[in-house]
Structure 1
């Protein structure tokens, strides 16, 4: 079975990039092109050749509703994953062949930012006959040909601008068994709203 990973915005803070660091790196690189801005470009591309130092991230309190929120162990940011060292140790063996890890620093020390490279459309893995769209041209029911992507632990799709993150049962089990906090996980693959509790496992 496949699942969608969703940031638990009700209980956990959201990650922010250090824009000053990104601009400095791009200046040193000799380019300010948007393709090289990891903070705005969430395409499945490598940033290792651009960012050659730990990426500076933070989880700031922006508004009153953030006051009681915590820093997550694992976090989804525009189709990429922040992981603290515990989450990295748990998930690295499962997902290292499906993307790229960048070292990061943040309030609690060191961690990793993971960019998934696997894209469902590359294998024609979206079952368009069983998937349905709503009036806003978004999937309200999403089905994959699971056999085509059974060797991918974690992947995305171009259809939604690479924003959703999907995973295999093995990844879900590893997250739950390790007690990693910060996510909702649902097998309703088109559901991006964590308040739909009937199909969602809350990990906090």
Structure 2
């Protein structure tokens, strides 16, 4: 089974990539902080400082073990140690620092094409669907060209996150929906 990964913004802070910090780390012409496309940054990477914000404003939420934003996954050291083998070969680990220590941004470079006739991503009309033609259960994590902001994963990846109580993300089999109301996403977009 394939799942879509969502940041758990109701209960945890969400990764924030600051444009000024990205330009300090990667140069003035970078779009890393807002470009969700799968582009390799590792050859020019300098450790970047990231922050975490409350998507709803206020509150007293914690920094999660994993967070998803702008087509990237933040991994705390704990999450990195548990998921590095699962993510090996699917992208690159970019070291970051934040107020509580060090971690990584997982920049997923594995992209699977969705069925163009059956898939749709139209945020202006709230029409979404993602359909894949092939069985993807063997892929630990990947993205789709129809929605580069999204991460998809298999049962094995999901199981490791849940069995180790890694915080900060949720999973859904409704892989086409970028803003599930049950996760509080509709309120913030």
Q: Is the shorter-chain TM-score for this pair beyond 0.5, marking a shared fold? A: yes
- Who is 1:37 aligned against? 31
Q: Does 1:108 align with 2:137?
A: no
CA distance in 1, matches of 2:69, 2:91: 15
Q: Which of 68, 81, 99 is equivalent to 1:76?
A: 68
TM-score, length-scaled by structure 2: 0.84
Provide runs of 4+ in structure 1 moved above 6 Å.
Answer: 132-135
Compute the displacement of 1:61 (Å): 5.5
Provide closer, same or farther for how the CA distance between residues 141 and 39 of structure 1 changes in structure 2, counting only shifts above 3 A.
closer
Compute the displacement of 1:69 (Å): 1.7
Once structures 1 and 2 are overlaid, which stretch shifts more, 86-95 or 136-145? 136-145
CA distance in 2, matches of 1:15, 1:97: 23
CA distance in 1, matches of 2:122, 2:104: 36
- Who is 1:181 aligned against? 167
- Who is 1:98 aligned against? 90
Compute the displacement of 1:130 (Å): 5.0
* More strand, by proportion: 2
- Who is 1:166 aligned against? 152
Compute the displacement of 1:183 (Å): 1.2
- Who is 2:9 aligned against? 9
Provide closer, same or farther for how the CA distance between residues 61 and 2 of structure 1 changes in structure 2, counting only shifts above 3 A.
closer
CA RMSD of aligned residues (A): 2.5
CA distance in 1, matches of 2:25, 2:122: 41
Contact 1:103 1:110 in 2 (8 A): yes
TM-score, length-scaled by structure 1: 0.78
CA distance in 2, matches of 1:86, 1:37: 28
Contact 2:12 2:54 in 1 (8 A): no
* More helix, by proportion: 1
Compute the displacement of 1:138 (Å): 6.0
Task: Give a deviation string over 1:144-197, Cα, whole Å, max 9, x none.
Answer: 2343x444211111212x011100111111110110111121011112234336
Aligned with 1:59: secondary structure?
strand
Gapped runs of 5+ residues in structure 2?
Answer: 184-189
Gapped runs of 5+ residues in structure 1?
Answer: 198-204
Count of residue correspondences: 183
